[in-house]
């Protein structure tokens, strides 16, 4: 991508020097424990045990942290550019959908993090928390995206962040809340609805990609990098890599083919109204 290094977004929160484990538990206190228990019920996921087991624990070494942060600074500046550019795009686009855009924050962390959605380890990958309207990412994921998933390149990295911003757009539009109610009403459809939500975020990432192409920010091969990244994180491919087999009943994000198709739809049209995955059989 064509961008100018040298700056950091005002919407980036750098929490890479924080420790996890019992230190994190002490920070949240009794009230935080209650919140984690409630969120565990809401999200049907144990969010408290990682704290009690000391996951991601330990006191960070200031010198090691500073060295690691310096090594990641070029990536920090790149994600700052992508974050600001994507949010500037949606600031223009969202009013056409009847809503004003409100910026999300991007939280950088290392190894583990405590968000409003609970305690999460880096192995989970980048995620968006609708409860605090923040995107969380351990920048080490980008190396894994290249080495493990075979999806190198700066636009592959940009696709990942643009997808998470797509989830923020869904929150602002009320789509996330609507799907959460639908999953509670029809638990047997929970995974299928989750897939549709994720595919729409892929399409929204493509909408932003379209805007970068219109502004001549893309280099030759950038779109292919985004497509490889979308294909790399398909449920079928990840399941095949992890277990050697594919179980469609366990899909939550969509197949590689679906993710590429919806990213391409957003990219080709540049229109968020083309991203209605909930009324599509694709």
Q: CA-based Rg of the chain, rounded to a whole angstrom?
A: 18
Evaluate if residue 94 carries a pLDDT over 50.
Answer: yes
- 282 compared with 185, residue with greater pLDDT: 185
pLDDT of residue 70: 87
For residues 118 and 138, give the distance between their C-alpha atoms in angstroms, rounded to a whole number: 16
* Bridge pairing between strands 134-137 and 105-108: parallel
pLDDT of residue 280: 76
> What percent of the chain shows pLDDT beyond 70?
84
For residues 65 and 166, give the distance between their C-alpha atoms in angstroms, rounded to a whole number: 31
Residues 6+ apart with CB under 8 A from 10: none
Residues in the chain, overall count: 282
Over residues 30-87, the pLDDT tens digits come to 555 566 566 666 566 665 555 444 444 455 567 777 788 888 999 999 999 999 999 9
pLDDT of residue 53: 44
pLDDT of residue 105: 98
Spans of all domains in the chain: 12-18+60-279, 19-57
* Bridge pairing between strands 127-129 and 134-137: antiparallel
Q: Residues 274-282: what's their mean pLDDT?
A: 87
Q: Confirm if 279 and 227 have CB atoms less than 8 A apart.
A: no
Helix (H), strand (E), coil (C) string for 152-180: CCHHHHHHHHHHHHHHHHHHHHCHHHHHH
Over residues 209-256, the pLDDT tens digits come to 999 999 999 999 999 999 999 999 999 999 999 999 999 999 999 999
Dihedral (CA of 161, 45, 250, 265) sign: negative
pLDDT of residue 59: 56
- Indicate the pTM of the whole model: 0.84
Over residues 1-26, the pLDDT tens digits come to 999 998 899 999 999 988 654 444 43
Q: Provide φ and ψ at 72, rounded to 5°.
A: -90, -5
Q: Distance between terminal CA atoms of the chain?
A: 30
Of 118, 155, 168, 160, the closest CA to residue 141 belongs to: 160
Of 250, 210, 259, the closest CA to residue 231 belongs to: 259
Q: Chain centroid to CA 153: how far?
A: 17
Over residues 111-166, the pLDDT tens digits come to 999 999 999 999 999 999 999 999 999 999 999 999 999 999 999 999 999 999 99
pLDDT of residue 24: 44
Angle separating helix axes 175-185 and 154-173, nearest 10 degrees: 70
């Amino acid at each position: 991508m064509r961008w100018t290094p040298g700056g950091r977004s005002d919407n980036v929160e750098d929490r890479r020097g924080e420790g996890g484990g019992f230190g994190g538990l002490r920070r949240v206190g009794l009230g935080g424990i209650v919140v984690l228990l409630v969120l565990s019920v809401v999200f049907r996921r144990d969010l408290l045990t990682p704290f009690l087991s000391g996951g991601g624990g330990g006191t960070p070494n200031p010198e090691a942290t500073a060295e690691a942060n310096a090594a990641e600074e070029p990536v920090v500046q790149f994600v700052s550019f992508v974050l600001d550019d994507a949010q500037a795009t949606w600031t223009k686009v969202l009013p056409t959908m009847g809503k004003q855009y409100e910026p999300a924050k991007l939280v950088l962390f290392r190894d583990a993090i405590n968000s409003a959605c609970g305690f999460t380890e880096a192995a989970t990958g980048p995620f968006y928390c609708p409860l605090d309207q923040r995107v969380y990412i351990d920048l080490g994921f980008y190396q894994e995206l290249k080495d493990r998933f075979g999806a190198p390149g700066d636009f592959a990295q940009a696709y990942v962040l643009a997808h998470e911003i797509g989830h923020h757009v869904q929150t602002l539009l009320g789509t996330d809340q609507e799907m959460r109610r639908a999953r509670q009403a029809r638990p047997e459809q929970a995974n299928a609805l989750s897939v549709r939500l994720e595919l729409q975020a892929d399409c929204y990432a493509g909408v932003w990609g379209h805007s970068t192409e219109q502004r001549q920010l893309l280099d030759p091969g950038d779109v292919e990098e985004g497509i490889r990244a979308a294909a790399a994180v398909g449920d079928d491919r990840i399941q095949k890599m992890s277990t050697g087999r594919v179980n469609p009943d366990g899909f939550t994000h969509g197949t590689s083919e679906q993710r590429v198709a919806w990213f391409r739809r957003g990219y080709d049209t540049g229109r968020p109204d083309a991203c209605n995955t909930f009324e599509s059989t694709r």
